[in-house]
């Protein structure tokens, strides 16, 4: 039986996408060859890549002012590649520190240039998103970096702040989960393994004007300008991961696209938070208006109970709800591919667990 998967990433994919992917593994497009065997220079792969880039544009309503780049590797590689391209020892990048990943992006940038914290919610254990009124001046930076959804702490920017320097956003855990105005963003990026497809690739959506500012004296594999010019087919792209991502993006389009999935995501999160707030055993510590619609983090009064709850879930076929090691607790990731039915199953198990504890 297929499990109910709440993993933070790599995360659940639609079952139909997995079925199509397994067909492609054996015989892609009935061409008598596996997707894992085709050349990245073949017409077939070129068309797969083109359609993937096209769908990213279409789903994100991304205009001609932006380039879309597909790359090997995950978000941490981008943490390094971004400052390699856009920062120097003479310039400074500003960071909005909303927790683990936001902080990591800053640590990586520090190898290449100066860094500065514009705002932070560290003092309150990252349980909220910093208010723009508390931001330091955002002028004069090579770029300002923020993390739109904080996968580990369960917080999310529900409004993207306006800043006075180029804006770079790590959207790894909420890309295409909601409608976003990319015209206001110089550089958005995401690793694939939360909302796009399997692990192994990242996407970047870069304003051409900003791309023109990138350093060019770089090993070509790191140069965004070169990768864009080569239409994301310079080195061997992650062919299989790209193909499965394409299947998943087609699936997203068939669901009605980003605005339709956004409405569904809101319903899933609402139902789950309502249960956490109602249930006497569970608590969510995030400031209500900053709660993430993607990663629902919660705790129990006794950490002993948390382990019992996780085991209880496993008995009911639910996996992947243990919180990240830096925060502990419980985390249910409800990305695009998570169904409302699965969320309802989790809610029922939470209720059954409450009942069991009370009647003991």
Instruction: Judge whether 97 counts as a catalytic residue.
Output: no
CA distance 292 to 312: 25
Q: Which is nearer to ligand PLP, 153 or 210 (CB)?
A: 153
For residues 159, 164, 167, 169, the Cα torsion angle rounded to the nearest 10 degrees is -40
Q: How far is the CB of 104 from ligand PLP (least distance, A)?
A: 7
Q: Which stretch binds ligand PLP (CB under 6 A): 73-81, 124-132, 259-267, 337-345?
A: 73-81
Question: Does 170 participate in binding ligand PLP (rule CB under 6 A)?
Answer: yes
Q: Which helix (H) or strand (E) holds 71?
A: strand 66-72
Question: Which region, judged by CB under 6 A, interacts with ligand PLP, from 38-46, 71-79, 243-251, 297-305?
Answer: 71-79
Cα dihedral 119, 126, 76, 273 sign = negative
Query: Structure tokens of 37?
Result: 């065997």
For CA atoms 102, 204, 232, 260, the dihedral sign is positive
Q: Out of 5, 6, 7, 9, point to the residue binding ligand PLP (CB under 6 A).
A: 9
Q: Is 74 in the site for ligand PLP (CB under 6 A)?
A: yes
Mapped onto helix, strand or coil, the DSSP state of residue 116 is strand
Q: Does position 203 bind ligand PLP by CB under 6 A?
A: no
By CB under 6 A, residue 327 contacts ligand PLP: no
- Residue 156 in contact with ligand PLP, rule: CB under 6 A: no
Q: For residue 205, give Cα distances in angstroms to 32, 182, 353.
A: 34, 8, 44
Residue 26 burial (C-beta neighbours within 10 Å; 0-12, 13-18, 19+): exposed
Q: Return the SS3 of 279.
A: coil
Active site residue 101: yes
Task: Indicate whether 20 belongs to the interface with ligand PLP (CB under 6 A).
Answer: no
Tokens of 280: 């006497």
**CA separation for the pair 168, 186 (Å, rounded):** 6
> Using the rule CB under 6 A, which residue among 151, 156, 265, 342 binds ligand PLP?
151
Among 6, 86, 101, 182, binds ligand PLP (CB under 6 A): 101
Minimum CB distance to ligand PLP smaller for 95 or for 309:
95
Of the candidates 20, 85, 138, 147, which one interacts with ligand PLP according to CB under 6 A? Answer: 147
Q: Which of 97, 101, 290, 322 is catalytic?
A: 101
| Catalytic residue list contains 170 | yes
Whole-number Å distance between alpha carbons of 230 and 200: 19
Sign, CA dihedral 51-52-54-60, equals positive
Task: Name the closest residue to ligand PLP (Cβ).
Answer: 74
Which of 38, 69, 146, 191 touches ligand PLP by CB under 6 A?
191
CB of 73 to ligand PLP, least distance (A): 7
Angle, nearest 10°, between helix axes 43-60 and 239-254? 40
Q: Which among 46-54, 83-91, 165-173, 300-308 is the span making contact with ligand PLP, rule CB under 6 A?
A: 165-173
Q: Least separation, in Å, of the C-beta of 74 and ligand PLP?
A: 2
Q: How many CB atoms lie within 10 A of CB 93?
A: 26
Residues contacting ligand PLP: total by CB under 6 A: 12
CB of 189 to ligand PLP, least distance (A): 9
Within 8 A by CB and 6+ apart from 220, the residues are 226, 234
* Contact status, residue 235 vs residue 192, Cβ threshold 8 Å: no
Residues that bind ligand PLP (CB under 6 A): 9, 74-76, 101, 147, 151, 170, 172-173, 191, 194
Catalytic residue list: 101, 170, 194
């Amino acid at each position: 039986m297929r499990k109910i998967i709440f993993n933070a990433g790599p995360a659940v994919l639609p079952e139909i996408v997995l079925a199509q992917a397994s067909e492609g593994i054996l015989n892609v497009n009935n061409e008598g060859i596996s997707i894992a065997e085709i050349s990245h220079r073949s017409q077939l792969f070129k068309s797969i890549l083109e359609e993937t880039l096209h769908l990213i544009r279409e789903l994100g309503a991304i205009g001609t002012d932006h380039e879309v780049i597909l790359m090997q590797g995950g978000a941490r590689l981008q943490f390094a590649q971004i400052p390699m391209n856009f920062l120097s020892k003479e310039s400074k990048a500003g960071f909005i520190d909303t927790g683990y990943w936001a902080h990591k992006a800053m640590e990586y940038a520090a190898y290449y240039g100066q860094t500065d914290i514009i705002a932070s919610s560290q003092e309150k254990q990252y349980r909220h998103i910093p208010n723009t009124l508390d931001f330091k001046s955002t002028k004069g930076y090579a770029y300002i970096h923020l993390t739109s959804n904080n996968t580990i702490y369960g917080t999310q920017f529900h409004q993207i702040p306006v800043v006075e320097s180029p804006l770079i956003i790590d959207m790894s855990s909420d890309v295409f989960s909601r409608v976003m105005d990319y015209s206001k963003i110089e550089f958005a990026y995401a690793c694939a393994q939360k909302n796009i497809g399997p692990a192994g690739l990242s996407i970047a959506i870069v304003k051409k004007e900003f791309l023109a500012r990138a350093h060019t004296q770089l090993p070509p594999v790191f140069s965004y300008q070169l990768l864009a010019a080569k239409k994301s087919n310079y080195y061997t792209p992650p062919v299989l991961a790209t193909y499965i991502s394409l299947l998943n993006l087609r699936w997203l389009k068939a669901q009605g696209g980003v605005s339709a999935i956004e409405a569904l995501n809101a319903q899933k999160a609402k139902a789950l938070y309502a249960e956490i707030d109602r249930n006497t055993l569970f608590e969510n510590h995030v400031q209500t208006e900053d709660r993430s619609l993607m990663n629902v983090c919660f705790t129990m009064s006794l950490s002993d109970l948390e382990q019992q709850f996780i085991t209880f879930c496993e008995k009911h076929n639910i996996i992947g709800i243990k919180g990240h090691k830096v925060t502990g607790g419980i985390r249910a990731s409800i990305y695009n591919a998570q169904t409302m039915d699965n969320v309802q199953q989790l809610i029922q198990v939470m209720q059954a667990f409450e009942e069991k504890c009370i009647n003991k």
